[in-house]
Amino acid sequence: MNNPKPHLLIATRNRGKLAEFERLLGGQFTVEGLDGQQIDLPEEGTESYRANAEAKAIAVARATGRLTLGDDSGIEVTALGGEPGIVSARYAGEPVSDARNIEKLLDALAASASPDRSARFVCWLAMAGPSGLLTSVEGTCEGTIGIEPHGANGFGYDPIFRFPDGRTMAQLSDWEKDDVSHRGNALRAILPALAEATGNA
């Protein structure tokens, strides 16, 4: 008789992020997001990705009594001094729009007159239970910023984040993306702790 998969709550309402978690963890866990749940996420601060991820995980775990993963991520562009960084999701202000964020980043990079287009994605994941924080890990992905958006398989800044083969993150298949992405790398790093916490080791 097969044992049921342990449940894992993800502290997000971002469907793009949730889809990645489901692909990467769905074979071992029943993954759920916060859609339909009356849970207030803490407001994201500007201290660090890690602090934001931990605050989300702790708040949701305490509110639900369940094992929870919190995530915070962003893109850091070398020529912009690491911007947009921790404010990546809200870079162009309200209302939040991937297209507006991309446009602002490309405009800022053009105005910088720097030939350096190197960038990296950063993701911090935090795992918490009802008793508090259990662990936190970081994942990164290196690339460059393209001249214009390409590809439709992704979200956020994926259409302008290029790899050495010329393709953007948004032009990769789901499985190719999961192999190299910052979130995929962070999830692989936290997986042993997840397995231990759920008795799924």
**Whose CA is closest to 51, among 67, 74, 34?**
74
CA angle 45, 47, 49 (to 5 degrees): 80
Alpha carbon separation from 119 to 9, 31, 37, 114 (Å, rounded) = 30, 30, 35, 13
What average pLDDT is seen over the chain? Answer: 93
Q: Kindly state the DSSP code that residue 65 receives in the 8-state scheme.
A: S
Burial class (CB in 10 A: 0-12, 13-18, 19+), 169: buried
Q: Which residue has the higher pLDDT, 106 or 24?
A: 106
Rounded Cα gap, residues 47 and 36, in angstroms: 29
Q: What is the mean predicted confidence (pLDDT) over 142-167?
A: 96
169 with 150: CB under 8 angstroms? no
Do the domain assignments include residue 2? no
What are the start-end ranges of the H helices in 83-181?
98-112, 174-180
121 with 177: CB under 8 angstroms? no
Do the domain assignments include residue 1? no
Domain count, the chain: 1
Residue 195: partners with Cβ closer than 8 Å, 6 or more residues away: 28, 201
The pLDDT tens digits of the residues spanning 56-99 come to: 999 999 999 999 999 999 999 999 999 999 999 999 999 989 99
Q: Is the pLDDT of residue 135 over 50?
A: yes
Do the domain assignments include residue 107? yes
Do the domain assignments include residue 120? yes
Q: Which residue has the higher pLDDT, 60 or 14?
A: 60
Residue 131: CATH number of its domain: 3.90.950.10
The pLDDT tens digits of the residues spanning 117-131 come to: 999 999 999 999 999
The pLDDT tens digits of the residues spanning 17-60 come to: 898 899 989 788 999 999 877 788 888 777 899 999 999 999 99
Q: Computed over its alpha carbons, how large is the radius of gyration of the chain?
A: 17
Do the domain assignments include residue 128? yes
List the catalytic residues: 72
Alpha carbon separation from 127 to 19, 32, 103, 117, 131 (Å, rounded) = 18, 14, 33, 33, 11
